[in-house]
Structure 1
Amino acid sequence: MSTYAILDLETTGLDPRTSSIIEIGILLLQDGEVVEEYSTFVRPHTAIPPEITDITGITDAMVADAPSLFKLRAQVRRLLADHVIIGHNVSFDVGFLQQEEMALHNRTIDTVTLASVLLPNAGRYGLEYLANYLNLPLPEHGQSHRALDDCLLTAELFLALHEQAAKLDVAILSEIAEAGLRVGWGEARFFEEALKTAVREAYSGGKKAPAKAGRHQKELFKPPAIEAKTLTPKEKPDQIPSEEILGMFGPKGNFARTFTGFEARAEQVDMVSAVIQAFNEGKHLLIEAGTGTGKSVGYLLPAAFWAVLNGRRVVVSTNTINLQDQLVQKDIPELQRVLPFEFRATVRKGRSNYVCTRLFQQLRHKGPQSAEEMALYGRMLVWLPQTITGDKGEITLRNLDERLMWDKLSADNDICTSELCAENRCPRHIAQRRADTSHVVIVNHALLLSDLANENHILPPFQDLIVDEAHHLELAVTSGLSFEADKRVLERTVQDVVRPNAGLLDQMTGKTNMIAPDQRAALNGLVNKVQEAASLAMVRLDEFFATLHYFLQDYVRGRSNFAQQVRLTAAERAQPNFDEVTLGWDNLNKPLYNMVKSLKSIAEVVVELAESYEIDDVELLIQSVTTALRGLEETRTNIENIIADPKPDFIYWAEIMKDKLSLHAAPLHVGPLVEEYIFHAKETVVLTSATLRTAPAFGETEPSFSYIRQRLHAHDAYELALGSPFDYKANALLYLATDMPEPNQPGYDRYVAQALIDCAVTMSGRTLALFTSYQHMREITQQIREPLRRAGITVLAQSDGGSRQQITDQFRDPNSKTILLGTKSFWEGVDIPGDNLQVVVLVKIPFDVPSDPVFAARSETFDNSFFEYSIPEAVLRWRQGFGRLIRRKSDEGWCSCWISGCSPNATAKHSPMPSPNAPPSANPPPASPNCWCAGLSGRSDSSSSLVLCHLELRPFPCRCKGCLTTTRRF
């Protein structure tokens, strides 16, 4: 192994043009051993931001007397010499040195890229995460984000990755090295060295070294055979034995015998009974099952019995991957242990989730075309022999280039058909066969709707459907039937046809060069027409989007980092300048139409030529033309509807975000579609969620299903509302801060920031603050970060970057005092049980943004949109936010809702939260010094605040107004 220089820098920020280096770590690695270590502070040009001190522990005082980078250049150059530089995201470190005029010509190896290739299933590629994933020894000091410690960890990771590479098949190593060297991929030499090591070790062990792979390699994807047979439904289904199933929950039942300490939950048993009745009687059912009910088992148990008993397939649809993972990895395996019979379950995803091995094999034949493609190419070479599904959910697509490359290789292409692809080697067809033989098929809402829209040609036949997370069904239908197009998408669609050397036309002419001269002339004539139309389309494309951008300037507020949306209603279309937009579209539409017309003629010619000539991969060629035609025609038709021929049952708008301009369309109403394609088409439909009911309508006393019935046209469905086994009245408080200024008044942000600071300090972190605006969250984050840092509390914010899972994992760390600020994606699906979360703050009631085009258009269909539409939607989101607080029986905590300009009576009448049955005390005693509610409001007197408990009036630790509780229903 060569000598490597492991490099890591700590800096004051991410941009080398405006940030400074504050620490350098270099470690020399020779033959797998550390031969020299070097670490030094560097005096920066500016003060170290508080958040950098939080991360690194490096303060201004620590670097005050450090040498400048100028004085350190000679030493850094001596250490780096001409060694290969290794780093975790090495371009970041090298970029900072080069910005400081340290010209580096060393080869580099990025351990992030290496890990993404060699560990395709890791999911995340942060340094600490990979260290834990591979069980690597952490630095003795335990100081992550210090330069030398990170160098040591990077060295351990590099050596571990070298061991991982040595385990690969020599043919795979050879293919990665050859392809990488061909396109100048920086990590190619690593695989070349690993290949030499593998061959050398094979010889030294007395074995014959395996032959290197040639350009036409064998298939990598080798899934296990599917032995089960396709289900055959009974003509007349048998009834599920209700008493037998319910008996499984008894003290001597299957659950108690299988799981030690099992306790039956009355709510879960009631749900099982209701779902059994729905199956037996062919009914539709709405079930609200509170947190802790165990609703997954509540519907899966009857579904398994029904499917096995009658040979009928039950489809379970979810909205999130998290719930799918829970069903597949936890709930279904546990049920399979409990049930006295075998039942099969599988996940079925949309076509774009599966790789087309035929397309990947073609890529292997020609090789990747750039270093940007190489990382995903190498990752797939390593992954395909390991996977049994070919599902992209098993690997991570790290950037836009990789996502675009996957799109070209996915089974969503028209060329991935049963006629062209070997069914026993095609992941999509294998997934379909698994679904054919499974009793329970798990899908997401998007695939369910795609299947319904495609006349049930995606999923195997089914008549029984369970929709979990059903409060998202309307949004899922809306998304599934929506359209979006921007300039980049249109450009790529056109360029994929005419791109030199790699476009569809070049493939066409290359594969048909054996035809007769007169036929060649005719084909070339059509090709020329497509090229001419494409050239004109590219010019008209620029003109159209420039005209549209000019028109929108009257409606948007300059250049913004946030999306600005403009509905294209009759009023906007009546503006004089819109005629220019229409004319611009007409000028673009004509060459697009001519492209479509000429491509259709080319497809017809190729079909005729195939009867007389042997054309390589002719089926693939024809399907490629068909795919291009479909993409062009769908885009052309949709933009035609948006600009020139709007439909009354659709919503149209334009969106500007920074320099990106896009056009959108979405359906106005989805209820009739749900009624026609789900409730009328299926025998049994169960819709369930923890949040289906909204606040009582006028004249009603109880929360009801009225709103969800109206939105989804679930008119004939029976309903059941189940409570939660959690004791909210003992474990949860609801705090309504009624003295807040209005959001548009001076001091509002200061109030919110100070309240969050007081709350986090009093509770030692352990706080989740949920916002309705990303910009507002970011502004508050900036205000509270430094005061809380001084108090020893870490601020995690969605605006800091990182996935929801990464941020949530950091928040769960029991050794840190942390407050987490999040927006929409954190209102639901975040599960933080135990003491790590004790306060949930709902900064505002989660009303929709009034200017959102879909919300605005649908609001216009109501007589009183605020009460009939805005409030019910806010209720469902509010209840999801509150649901983050109590996740298991032992959890305790407070939910604080900051409703500006609100009195208890007004809250009772108008709030989306159900109202209290008893008024608060008029003259409450003062707060105790250590009372949480006093800390929240930042003073010892909480006289203008109201705390509402879940069910009953009773005292809490002190008897201030903030700790008195009154009756409350959720």
Structure 2
Amino acid sequence: MMESQKYAIVDIETTGHSQANGDRMIQIAIVIMKDWCIEKTFTSFIHPGKSIPLFIQDLTNITDDDVKDALPFEAHADTIYELIQDAIFVAHNTDFDLSFLQGEFKRVGLPKWNGKKIDTVELAKILFPSALSYKLGDLAAELNIPLTNAHRADDDAKACAFLLKTCWEELLVLPLSTLEQMHKKSFRLKSNLSQLFFEALQISRSTVSNEDDFIYYKKLALKKPYATNKKIRHQIDFPATSAEKSTLFKKALSHFEERPKQYQMMDIIWEHLNNKSEVMIEASTGIGKTIGYLIPSIIYAKQNNRKVCISTYTTYLLEQLLSSEIPKVEKILGCPINVTLLKGRRNYVDVVVFEQLMKSNDLSYDETLTTLQVLVWLSKTETGDLSELNCSGGGQLFIDKIRKNAEYGKKKQLFDYYDRAIQESEHADLIITNHSMLLADLVRHEPVFNQIDAWIIDEAHQFVQAAVQRDQAIFSYTNWKYLFGQIGYASDHQLFSIFQKIALKKQRVPLTYFQQLEKKFMQMVELFDKTIQEILYHMQKTSLPSKFESKQIAFVHNILTNRETMNNFSIALQGWVDLAEQISVMFKKDIEQIAPEHQLILEQWDFFVREYKMKATEWDEIFLQTDNDYTAWIEIDRRNLPGSIRVLKKPISITATIQQLFESIRKTSAVIWTSGTLTVPKNERFIANQLGIDERVPMIVLQAPASYYKGAKAYVVNDMPDIQSVSQTDYIESVALAITRIVRATEGRCFVLFTSQDMLKKTVELIQESELLYDYMLFAQGVTSGSRMRLLKSFQKFSHSVLFGTNSFWEGVDVPGDGLSSVVIVRLPFSAPEEPTFKAKSISLQQQGRNAFTELSLPEAILRFKQGFGRLIRASQDKGVFVVLDRRIDTKSYGVEFLRALPQISVNKLPLQDMVLEIEHWYNNKDGKRKQVDKNE
């Protein structure tokens, strides 16, 4: 009988990260686990011989008082050393705990500890690839592991022990073939997980398998898809009167409040669905817009046995629809709803490509870790949607390689997730998609869209942006250089030389073809470099760097008057592609069976030839086609040349595109455009005109009653400096001070909205350096790592938190209730006048003799401003303050139009000091007394 494995799970708390600078341990806990049961624990405070920094006291709740009678590390060293002998060392980030401990052993004269280690961060990333975060506290919350006091060694070590056990249980339910492949790849990992995987593999081989739950593509185990319910017709009648609607809602919702405007919205939509007509509805927050369109849509779909398609812009709203709104409607209507989420092809994993890439033996650490994450995820995912994965930065590049691009013949494959989503939509009442997918598929004419009777375009104002993105083309220097590097020359050990060796050895292609191809390749790279030099030369000559930015922008037509080199490059690139394709055809000709390792090389070759083909089209679109409806510009960062060169080409107006897309739809279906912001004062049809919607299509504005906003207060700080008359440093200092005062007055839960990433970064850095908010969690877009979604979820977890965001946080973000106490607008959200698309639109308007400020700049800014306010009050019980730090709202004539766009709430103009006192007073009396917040929340 093999002796069971002993695990020593260790957690330490220290005065800081650097032993070299005299940081020492203040607490240690060791949990000994055998046979997945805790055998013993050791925990002790340790005297660090110095005082504990305040932020460490704040983080750990360990004070100088706690350690004043503790003994130094020397007194415990032998016991600790003894405890971890013959054990596998386990910690949540072994790099820190183990190296710190080894340093302490060395300091007190003990030999270096030798043994195997397991890092539960690495292990959890592999086994829970969709976890929101891999911090111990977050994992504990997500996996229901008890953890009362995070950042206390005793509690953390115990939580880490339970996490290890949970990971072990997770390993045992994985399919055998997944475990086999994980074990094969695990020798590249940083900690000794291969042994753990091997033990799980041994057990898995000798137990009854759960293979029936999976389908297989080669050796990849994928979760078996559920059989979709066929469409069941339910006869539900539309609740025509207010009383009928109230009865329906009351039955299902415990906190029901009657909203007359929501009922009105339902009636309008019901009428247009049945008449197959078009309407625009602006529904402010507080109306219950989502439920307002879902109920009539679903009843209509069920009654007529047809489909309704709902399109949104943000992933956030997609998730919200699926996770909370649709279940709510199922409860209200008392019947199941068949829903399919459809995204664009590139959102799904390409199982065939992943299987190929997995065979490669020279994967980096990041690629190995991501491969293991994907292996585990494939056995769990029902959608194959890659956004479910939480990968590190390096892993993202690998994820981009396994996105679905191509079709696989006409035969439907079970492992093709995109195909599966299309098939599921055959039986759906509701298809939910995003604007970009809708735009792409209206062009591609996915047959599933032919069975749709009605279209509901939510976040309709963003349809403009989605259409621009779909029509844009982007050139990136690093991207092209990467492509050249992948092919390489005969002398490199890259794809060209590997493919050439095989082809010559098998005598499939004569050497002269490869010599010719290499010559074309050299010519192409030379011309590319020449083009780049020309671009840089002209950029330095014509564009002036701005005072604060190292970035430069210039319109292509101003820079590149002679495009001869560009044209020559295009011809050279096409010549290379033609010959590379010809060689591939020659290699495959008259061959029955290609050896698997050659197949992999050939597929990589074909993949890159396809990439070069797409690049050739992109090159011509950007540099060689002139089109007055588009604008193209070059961006560089002088600190990183030529690496930072990017060229972007975007449409100036997308009205014609959208009209063309909806032309056939309008003949047969209802089209309902809705959003919280479709109008601005004095320019009701600003968005309607951009979307090219006929003047005769009605625009209905539904505003929640004034009582809904009774918990909202708005303030304008009227003693902020004027940005024009002070230095940028002084201005940022004033902004940082105002933000910290407001955050402390409202006890966090604050959104701070910027219009410039540069100003956001500098403000956050200043606040961090000054430690003015040292006891708050600060999350900043573009500074804190993670997607917008992840930042938001992290923000919601802490009561003392502040979220700094730019453009995308101005809207489509829902933080109900106490989740948000204040929204601070740093600058009025005007587009930067130098932003190229905006500049091109302005020039176009001026050429028509129109006023670019009143027709474009102002309405755009007011819409964003309305969106920013919309974050604050998401339910009638919500309370919150809306603070504007930009003086122009008070000093400029157009300021009044921004204020007019807000609901009817009081707006107070005060100096910062007075405002902070007022907010504190209001908050202190908010619930009679200020709520105490647990420090460990």
> What TM-score, normalized to structure 2?
0.82
Structure 1 residues 655 and 345: alpha-carbon distance in aligned structure 2, compared to 1, 3 A threshold: same
Match of 2:343 among 346, 349, 356: 349
Question: Which letter does structure 2 place at the counterpart of 1:86?
Answer: V
Match of 2:248 among 245, 250, 254: 254
Q: Does 1:846 align with 2:829?
A: yes
Aligned to 2:817: 834
Q: Does 1:318 align with 2:312?
A: yes
Distance 2:570 2:77 in 1: 59
Match of 1:727 among 707, 710, 714: 707
Structure 1 residues 25 and 109: alpha-carbon distance in aligned structure 2, compared to 1, 3 A threshold: same
Any residues of structure 2 matched to 1:138-157 within 5 Å, and which? 138-139=147-148, 142=149, 144-146=150-152, 149-157=155-163
Aligned to 2:856: 869
Gaps of 5+ in 1: 232-239, 698-703, 948-955, 958-970
Q: Does 1:273 align with 2:267?
A: yes
Any residues of structure 2 matched to 1:958-969 within 5 Å, and which? none
Match of 1:491 among 481, 488, 492: 481
Distance 2:104 2:483 in 1: 41
Q: Does 1:780 align with 2:763?
A: yes
Distance 2:747 2:209 in 1: 63
C-alpha contact 2:231 2:429 (8 A) present in aligned 1: no
Aligned to 1:220: 222
Shift of 1:552: 3.7
Aligned to 2:619: 639
Structure 1 residues 915 and 293: alpha-carbon distance in aligned structure 2, compared to 1, 3 A threshold: closer
Structure 1 residues 449 and 622: alpha-carbon distance in aligned structure 2, compared to 1, 3 A threshold: farther
Structure 1 residues 340 and 779: alpha-carbon distance in aligned structure 2, compared to 1, 3 A threshold: closer
Question: Which letter does structure 2 place at the counterpart of 1:322?
Answer: Y
Shift of 1:666: 1.6
Structure 1 residues 290 and 158: alpha-carbon distance in aligned structure 2, compared to 1, 3 A threshold: same
Structure 1 residues 713 and 42: alpha-carbon distance in aligned structure 2, compared to 1, 3 A threshold: farther
Any residues of structure 2 matched to 1:670-709 within 5 Å, and which? 670-679=654-663, 681-682=665-666, 683-697=669-683, 704=684, 706-709=685-688
Q: Does 1:167 align with 2:181?
A: no
Match of 1:331 among 321, 325, 328: 325
Shift of 1:282: 2.6
Any residues of structure 2 matched to 1:397-796 within 5 Å, and which? 397-400=391-394, 402-412=395-405, 414=406, 416-419=407-410, 422-456=412-446, 459=449, 461-462=451-452, 464-497=454-487, 503=495, 506=498, 517=507, 520-522=508-510, 524-534=511-521, 537=524, 544-545=531-532, 548-549=535-536, 551-553=538-540, 564-574=551-561, 585=566, 588-589=569-570, 591-605=572-586, 609-610=589-590, 613-615=592-594, 627-657=607-637, 659=640, 660-661=643-644, 662-679=646-663, 681-682=665-666, 683-697=669-683, 704=684, 706-716=685-695, 717-725=697-705, 727-728=707-708, 730-746=710-726, 747-784=730-767, 795-796=778-779
C-alpha contact 2:12 2:26 (8 A) present in aligned 1: yes
What RMSD, in angstroms, separates the aligned Cα atoms of the two structures?
A: 4.8
Shift of 1:307: 2.9
Structure 1 residues 905 and 525: alpha-carbon distance in aligned structure 2, compared to 1, 3 A threshold: closer
Question: Which letter does structure 2 place at the counterpart of 1:744?
Answer: Q
Aligned to 2:866: 879
Measured against aligned partners, the alpha-carbon deviations of 1:240-272 in whole angstroms (never above 9, x if no partner) come to: 999843248626743333444644421111111
Distance 2:568 2:232 in 1: 53
Distance 1:492 1:692 in 2: 43
Distance 1:99 1:536 in 2: 56
1:346 aligns to what SS in structure 2?
Answer: strand
Shift of 1:450: 1.2
The range that moved more, 830-839 or 848-857, is: 830-839
Structure 1 residues 771 and 425: alpha-carbon distance in aligned structure 2, compared to 1, 3 A threshold: closer
Shift of 1:175: 2.4
The range that moved more, 425-434 or 339-348, is: 339-348
Structure 1 residues 266 and 817: alpha-carbon distance in aligned structure 2, compared to 1, 3 A threshold: same
Match of 1:130 among 139, 158, 162: 139
Shift of 1:15: 9.6
C-alpha contact 1:772 1:844 (8 A) present in aligned 2: yes
Question: Which letter does structure 1 place at the counterpart of 2:885?
Answer: W
Measured against aligned partners, the alpha-carbon deviations of 1:10-66 in whole angstroms (never above 9, x if no partner) come to: 67888999996776746364525456556646579xx99876665445789999999
Shift of 1:317: 0.7
Shift of 1:821: 3.2
Distance 1:508 1:195 in 2: 40
Structure 1 residues 209 and 276: alpha-carbon distance in aligned structure 2, compared to 1, 3 A threshold: closer
C-alpha contact 1:828 1:884 (8 A) present in aligned 2: yes
C-alpha contact 2:10 2:30 (8 A) present in aligned 1: yes
Measured against aligned partners, the alpha-carbon deviations of 1:419-459 in whole angstroms (never above 9, x if no partner) come to: 4x652332221111011222221111111111133344685
Structure 1 residues 408 and 145: alpha-carbon distance in aligned structure 2, compared to 1, 3 A threshold: same
Question: Which letter does structure 2 place at the counterpart of 1:711?
Answer: Q
Shift of 1:845: 0.8
Structure 1 residues 209 and 646: alpha-carbon distance in aligned structure 2, compared to 1, 3 A threshold: closer
Measured against aligned partners, the alpha-carbon deviations of 1:319-343 in whole angstroms (never above 9, x if no partner) come to: 1122112222222233334447765
Shift of 1:157: 1.6
C-alpha contact 2:281 2:674 (8 A) present in aligned 1: yes
Any residues of structure 2 matched to 1:57-206 within 5 Å, and which? 84-91=88-95, 107-139=116-148, 142=149, 144-146=150-152, 149-181=155-187, 186-196=192-202, 198=204, 202=207
Aligned to 1:304: 298
Structure 1 residues 461 and 940: alpha-carbon distance in aligned structure 2, compared to 1, 3 A threshold: closer
Measured against aligned partners, the alpha-carbon deviations of 1:711-768 in whole angstroms (never above 9, x if no partner) come to: 1111242211111256245322222233332123335334333333333333333433
Aligned to 2:30: 27
Distance 1:94 1:542 in 2: 48
Shift of 1:879: 0.8
C-alpha contact 2:47 2:68 (8 A) present in aligned 1: no
C-alpha contact 2:6 2:87 (8 A) present in aligned 1: yes
Measured against aligned partners, the alpha-carbon deviations of 1:856-906 in whole angstroms (never above 9, x if no partner) come to: 222222232111111111111111111121111111232122231554783
Shift of 1:546: 5.7
> What TM-score, normalized to structure 1?
0.79
2:474 aligns to what SS in structure 1?
Answer: strand
1:724 aligns to what SS in structure 2?
Answer: coil
Structure 1 residues 531 and 289: alpha-carbon distance in aligned structure 2, compared to 1, 3 A threshold: same
Structure 1 residues 253 and 65: alpha-carbon distance in aligned structure 2, compared to 1, 3 A threshold: closer
The range that moved more, 538-547 or 348-357, is: 538-547
Structure 1 residues 81 and 370: alpha-carbon distance in aligned structure 2, compared to 1, 3 A threshold: farther
Measured against aligned partners, the alpha-carbon deviations of 1:111-135 in whole angstroms (never above 9, x if no partner) come to: 2221122123323222111111222
C-alpha contact 2:118 2:191 (8 A) present in aligned 1: no
Distance 1:154 1:561 in 2: 47
Q: Percent identity?
A: 26
Distance 1:381 1:791 in 2: 40
Structure 1 residues 487 and 819: alpha-carbon distance in aligned structure 2, compared to 1, 3 A threshold: closer
Q: Does 1:822 align with 2:805?
A: yes
Aligned to 1:960: none
Structure 1 residues 941 and 680: alpha-carbon distance in aligned structure 2, compared to 1, 3 A threshold: same
C-alpha contact 1:795 1:818 (8 A) present in aligned 2: yes
Aligned to 1:387: 381
Distance 1:638 1:300 in 2: 40
Distance 2:21 2:623 in 1: 43
Distance 1:61 1:896 in 2: 41
Shift of 1:84: 4.7
1:860 aligns to what SS in structure 2?
Answer: helix
